[in-house]
Structure 1
Amino acid sequence: MREFSEKSPSRFAILIFASLIVIFTVLFSLPISSASGKVTPLADSLFTAVSVICVTGLATVDMATHWSVFGHVLIYIGVQIGALGVLTLASILGLVISRRLGLRARLIAASDTNPLRMHHGPVAEGQAVRLGEIGSLLATVAISALVIELVIAALLLPRMLIDGIPVGEAIWHSLYYSAMAFTNTGFAPNAEGLTPFANDYFFLTILMVGVFLGAIGFPVIYALARTLGAWRKRKKGHGPDLRVRWSVHVKLTLVTSALLIVAGAVLYIVLEFDNPKTFGTLNAGDTVFQSFFLSVMTRSGGFSTINIPDLNGSSLLVTDMLMFIGGGSASTAGGIKVTTLAVLFLAAFAEARGVQDMESFGRRIPGDVLRLGVSVVLWGATTVAVSSILILQISKAPLDFVLFDVISAFATSGLTTGLTASLPDAGVYIMAATMFMGRVGTVTLAAALAASQRQQLYKRPEERPIVG
């Protein structure tokens, strides 16, 4: 096992992740896990385990009523484990076993924050997190997750108490909602879901903040934490300039995420303002807020105050695109990641300007980053296409509904048109595989399946095919 883990850290991490899914499948199958005291069918147990560990939020059963207290505790623990990420999880397990963070564990954790580290050869210095900082990153992962979830729960608790929810139940629901927001899962502990809070903008805003913090990625949270520390030192009269603290990765993640949230909200306003089933009966202020809420949640949050099937077809397509993009790298969100989209646009912009190098925020981005980005998009698109074809054949459902739920599964978004819950077992297994493919990461999975790179000491003659 040690030799296997050293030769292929990514395969070792996937093995750990798959093992967790098997363990949770068995646990969800136990009679004690269901509210009825009966054995949950294998398809539902497996799908729930994958959805929980992959922090997706899709379900084939009513998550609030089907599971017992023990089952809900499993869900709560499972999303916390899954939120750590495949490679980071493997690093932490290795740290626990060896009681120290060795080079192999550092490489595994670094590859979660920067997939380029899984490739042989030099890596540009503009890393999100350097190898020497991995120990601090893992501490940040644990501390930030704990602190953020506790703060969110503390803010949600008074609102629940005001609504007349018993104290014990309010504490549990606030912790549950905070975990589901930060991990971008989207499960609700109550059968009504967000319906009781659909007009409580304080409650919804706290959920939005939790989802956003979970979606920007732990490297960005780590950078923000370092910036806060530098700001405190600067207030005391010493410390570095804050402007040099953020890497290109941090800037691209924050800027692209903000642009996508605003663009998504604007599109929802334009496309849904006259839809009586969604925003058509709301005033201007409510329409704007609900549009921003939906824009944030489509990126991977999974919460919704409206029925997704009621959206216009154009809005469903916009949601498909936002879900496919997802959140930041090494975050609790899924998708191809916002930095991947940013790099593709930077490459297209550089090509339009007729320059050879991609540049952003005064830094040059090497070409291997573009190749990796293209690979991620193609792998993701292929996964979505194959799964959609299979689900279409099995369910005979409309294309827009099938595409929506498949992308939601791949991007671990959790929003659904209701199709997933109505699928037969064959479709459930396909959707579970799609969630797994999306969560373990297209780059991680590709690296795990690919053979080790070999050094090539020659170059073949160059010839340019016609493109476009």
Structure 2
Amino acid sequence: MLRRVRPVQLIFLGFLLTAAVGTGLLLLPAATAPGEQTDFIHALFTATSALCVTGLVVVDTATHWSPLGQAVILVLIQLGGFGVMTFATVIGLIVLGRLSLRSKLVAATEAKSLGLADLRSLILGIVKISLSIEGVLAVVLVLRFYLSYQMGFGEALWQGVFHSVSAFNNAGFSLFSDSMMGFVADPVVCLSMAAAIILGGLGFPVIIQLRRHFRTPRLWSMHTRIVVWATTLLLVLGTALITVLEWSNPRTLGPLHWSEKLLAGFFQSVQTRTAGFNSVDISAMEPTTWLGIDVLMLIGGAPAGTAGGIKVTTFAVLLFILITELRGDAAVNIFGKRLSRSVHRQAIAVVLLALALITVVTGVLMHISGLPLDQVLFETVSAFSTVGLSTGITADLPVLGRLLLVMLMFIGRIGPITFASALALRERRTKYELPKERPIIG
């Protein structure tokens, strides 16, 4: 029976099973701090948020969970960053020393690999890259916390390791009750975490290619070029947007020195790429800033990495399609290469599915909670894009609202196309073509 299950369905089931196990572990009395109580919804929401590397919370991670509960969250973040089936493939490689064809197909589907030939090196590369970047960031944070913030070495070690894993995997979970607001003016903490978040958001194939051909951009693939240029552009635009709109806001950037305002603006721009930490109070931002962040969160980071959203490649493809249509060109050309027409359909499908889900859930949440559109939309986009930024309404939502956000986080992590394909009972292959006809557009 299992052999009839398609790779996308195995990915779906793998995440579902892991979320269930994580929920069970967080329900253990030992996972909750003394004096606190955890119900099923709290455990399910937290486990899903951690596994889907989102960062939305309904309880304070620092005070509600015991060290065991925080360790469970950390493991779920790491599994979510690797990809559940990718991690299972790694275990298979370690135990068996080889991969079956089915394991290769499943791992390739989750890792967004275009082929099976170099899959073994790709999977091992993902593990090496993740652990290396997390290790370097952990050392920086441990030393900074220990030497500059009067933490004991044990506490600094745990804080450094937890935040390094959470940062690279774009999870946004923090062991500080105010996230990173206590470090808003600390360039060492903010810039080192931002660097790890950006690398995680580039996607593993891009990191691997940049490592091999960093000094020779002419050897970069179309995918790498799109990701690098789009990421740079969005980071700059996001920094400018947040810094300018919040410059005089007395509840966010207003009290800071101009250099600290730039640092905070850049740090928050990075977080919109699906990381979810905050060094200023998101709930105190201007509604116009929320709207700009909504757009940045929806775009997200790159495929085959730890980021969410519709992905920068999808956004770039739609932008180039628009430019091509306005110019009247016959084909969409990007960086000297012609774009496959099948990619057009995929990009449009992803965006339409994302907008449909966000619209429906936003409407339902507004109806059952009575909260305003700007806050509910922010929360919904954050959940779907696995960002974790919040205006502070997550814990106030009714049970149905939290379950809807759980569903959005799950769909956002595995991807709307993968989710829809997993729900399909079988693949349809049409053996004929119908006559062409054009409706009037626009």
With the length of structure 1 as denominator, give the TM-score of the two structures.
0.90
Report the CA distance between 1:267 and its aligned residue.
Answer: 1.4
Report the CA distance between 1:155 and its aligned residue.
Answer: 1.1
Between the aligned residues of both structures, percent identity stands at 39
Report the CA distance between 1:167 and its aligned residue.
Answer: 0.6
Match of 2:391 among 417, 420, 435: 417
Match of 2:194 among 208, 220, 228: 208
The letter for the 2-side match of 1:100 is R
The letter for the 2-side match of 1:26 is G
Match of 2:123 among 129, 138, 147: 138
Query: Map of 1:105-124 to 2, 5 A cutoff?
Result: 105-114=103-112
Report the CA distance shift for 1:87/1:345 in structure 2 as closer, same or farther (over 3 A): farther
Whether the 8 Å contact between 1:47 and 1:432 is mirrored in structure 2 is yes
Distance 2:248 2:412 in 1: 34
Whether the 8 Å contact between 2:350 and 2:416 is mirrored in structure 1 is yes
Whether the 8 Å contact between 2:45 and 2:57 is mirrored in structure 1 is yes
Whether the 8 Å contact between 1:63 and 1:188 is mirrored in structure 2 is yes
Distance 2:83 2:302 in 1: 12
The letter for the 2-side match of 1:130 is G
Distance 1:87 1:382 in 2: 28
Structure 1 portions without partners, runs of 5+: 115-127, 232-241
Aligned to 2:3: 3
**1:249 maps onto 2:214 in alignment:** no
**1:220 maps onto 2:229 in alignment:** no
Aligned to 2:83: 85
Report the CA distance between 1:319 and its aligned residue.
Answer: 0.5
The letter for the 2-side match of 1:146 is L
Query: Map of 1:294-443 to 2, 5 A cutoff?
Result: 294-443=268-417
Match of 1:460 among 416, 427, 434: 434
Whether the 8 Å contact between 2:46 and 2:58 is mirrored in structure 1 is yes
Query: Map of 1:142-161 to 2, 5 A cutoff?
Result: 142-161=127-146
Aligned to 1:269: 243
Aligned to 1:23: 21
Report the CA distance shift for 1:87/1:463 in structure 2 as closer, same or farther (over 3 A): farther
Deviations 1:214-249 (A, max 9, x none): 111111112123336xx7xxxxxxxxxx34532111
Aligned to 2:167: 181
Distance 2:143 2:250 in 1: 33
Whether the 8 Å contact between 2:321 and 2:332 is mirrored in structure 1 is yes
Partner secondary structure for residue 274 of structure 2: helix
Report the CA distance between 1:307 and its aligned residue.
Answer: 1.0
Report the CA distance between 1:353 and its aligned residue.
Answer: 1.5
The letter for the 1-side match of 2:188 is F
Report the CA distance between 1:366 and its aligned residue.
Answer: 0.6
Distance 2:425 2:318 in 1: 26
Deviations 1:394-420 (A, max 9, x none): 111111000101111111101111111
With the length of structure 2 as denominator, give the TM-score of the two structures.
0.95
The letter for the 1-side match of 2:261 is T
Distance 1:60 1:304 in 2: 16
Report the CA distance shift for 1:349/1:113 in structure 2 as closer, same or farther (over 3 A): farther
Whether the 8 Å contact between 2:185 and 2:263 is mirrored in structure 1 is no
The root-mean-square deviation of aligned C-alpha atoms, in Å, is 1.8
Report the CA distance between 1:90 and its aligned residue.
Answer: 5.2
Whether the 8 Å contact between 2:202 and 2:302 is mirrored in structure 1 is yes
Greater mean alpha carbon deviation, residues 34-43 or residues 385-394: 34-43
Structure 2 portions without partners, runs of 5+: none
Partner secondary structure for residue 102 of structure 2: helix
The letter for the 1-side match of 2:352 is L
Distance 2:425 2:336 in 1: 36
Partner secondary structure for residue 255 of structure 2: coil
Whether the 8 Å contact between 2:85 and 2:107 is mirrored in structure 1 is yes
Report the CA distance between 1:38 and its aligned residue.
Answer: 6.0
The letter for the 1-side match of 2:24 is V
Partner secondary structure for residue 253 of structure 2: coil
Distance 2:426 2:211 in 1: 36
Deviations 1:98-140 (A, max 9, x none): 54223322222222343xxxxxxxxxxxxx6532111111001
Report the CA distance shift for 1:396/1:355 in structure 2 as closer, same or farther (over 3 A): same
Match of 1:67 among 50, 65, 68: 65
Whether the 8 Å contact between 1:55 and 1:183 is mirrored in structure 2 is yes
The letter for the 1-side match of 2:152 is P
Aligned to 1:237: none
Report the CA distance between 1:431 and its aligned residue.
Answer: 1.1
The letter for the 2-side match of 1:186 is G
Report the CA distance between 1:451 and its aligned residue.
Answer: 5.1
Whether the 8 Å contact between 1:86 and 1:440 is mirrored in structure 2 is no
Greater mean alpha carbon deviation, residues 182-191 or residues 57-66: 182-191
Partner secondary structure for residue 436 of structure 2: coil
Whether the 8 Å contact between 1:34 and 1:67 is mirrored in structure 2 is yes
Distance 1:424 1:414 in 2: 18
Deviations 1:72-118 (A, max 9, x none): 1111111000111255345446556754223322222222343xxxx
Whether the 8 Å contact between 1:10 and 1:87 is mirrored in structure 2 is no
Partner secondary structure for residue 191 of structure 1: coil
Aligned to 1:193: 179
Greater mean alpha carbon deviation, residues 264-273 or residues 138-147: 264-273
Report the CA distance between 1:39 and its aligned residue.
Answer: 5.1
Whether the 8 Å contact between 2:274 and 2:386 is mirrored in structure 1 is yes
The letter for the 2-side match of 1:392 is M
Report the CA distance between 1:35 and its aligned residue.
Answer: 0.5
The letter for the 1-side match of 2:139 is A
The letter for the 2-side match of 1:170 is A
The letter for the 2-side match of 1:153 is A
Whether the 8 Å contact between 2:10 and 2:106 is mirrored in structure 1 is no
Report the CA distance between 1:285 and its aligned residue.
Answer: 2.3
Deviations 1:310-342 (A, max 9, x none): 111110000101111111101111100000001
Distance 2:415 2:333 in 1: 26
The letter for the 2-side match of 1:165 is M
Aligned structure 1 segments of 4 or more residues deviating by more than 6 angstroms: none
Distance 1:86 1:31 in 2: 26
Partner secondary structure for residue 252 of structure 1: helix
Whether the 8 Å contact between 1:14 and 1:86 is mirrored in structure 2 is no
